[in-house]
Amino acid sequence: MIAAIAVCDSELKSIVGEGDRGLFPINGFALDVLPWFDQAGIAFRIQSDPPGFDLAEWEHYDLFFDLTMGVAGPLAASSGYAAAAYNNPPSGIEPGEVAHLILLAGAEALLDQTVVDKFYEALGIADNACMFDSWFEYFVLHPDNVCRANYCDIVRANRITESPHKNRCGPPGFGGWISGR
């Protein structure tokens, strides 16, 4: 993921530079994984994009979908592993179940603090990252809508219930402490 963000660095800076000074231009970051096609890419949602889960409607949806092309792309190894697991699932496990686990793993990777830090560094907001916790969204979605939930939300919910600090919201390092929850 970190190598993929590095590939997008100049485009991210361009998008941020074009934004309205009163509103940060990027408000969503998605990892799009299609294990049955051995493809993965990242997408960015900007303020003018429609809300919701239809990544293909985002202006910057397919800018970085070639991150798995060839064996040297920054997401190629992960995409290849996901495709191999999907196409040759362990005995007793259906490919759909494997896809679910792959998408959960993708959400874990996207929300990993080192990835979040690198993303915020690329955006030039590393010093003010905590202010994005309340409105910035991360997405990993099932490409065929078999599961109509954001896997990042599932990961966050699991982190909250597994945490000794039950009132923690968001990925680690974001702040997000909310009293009374």
Residues facing residue 162 across a β-bridge: none
Could you tell me the two tokens for 125? 């907001």
Category of 170 on φ-ψ map: left (φ > 0), alpha (ψ -120 to 50) or beta:
left
Between these two residues, 8 and 101, which has the higher pLDDT value? 101
Within-domain flag for 171: no
Q: Is 176 within a domain?
A: no
- Three-state SS for 97? helix
Which residue, among 53, 11, 79, 12, has the nearest Cα to 152 in the 3D structure? 53
| pLDDT tens-digit map of 75-123 | 888 888 999 999 999 999 999 999 999 999 999 999 998 888 888 888 7
Query: What is the structure's pLDDT at 84?
Result: 94
How many structural domains compose the chain? 1
* CA atoms within 13 Å, Cβ hemisphere of 119: 25
Contacts of residue 125, defined as CB under 8 A and 6 or more positions apart, other chains included, come to 24, 132
Check whether 51 has a pLDDT greater than 80. yes
The tokens of 64 are what? 């970085």
Q: Look at residue 47 and tell me if it is in a domain.
A: yes
What is the reported pLDDT for 70?
Answer: 52
Do residues 130 and 17 touch, judged by C-beta distance below 8 A?
no
Q: Stretch 32-37: mean pLDDT, rounded?
A: 89
Whole-number Å distance between alpha carbons of 48 and 42: 18
Q: Tell me if 137 is assigned to some domain.
A: yes
Task: With respect to residue 167, please indicate whether it lies within any of the assigned structural domains.
Answer: no
HSE-CB of 3 using CA atoms within 13 angstroms: 9
Q: What is the rounded average pLDDT for all residues in the chain?
A: 79
For residue 53, being part of any structural domain is answered with yes
pLDDT tens per residue across span 123-153: 777 676 666 666 788 999 998 888 889 999 9
Q: Tell me: the pLDDT tens digits for 59-78?
A: 888 767 665 555 557 788 88
The better pLDDT of the pair 9, 155 is held by 155
Give the domain extent around 10: 2-162
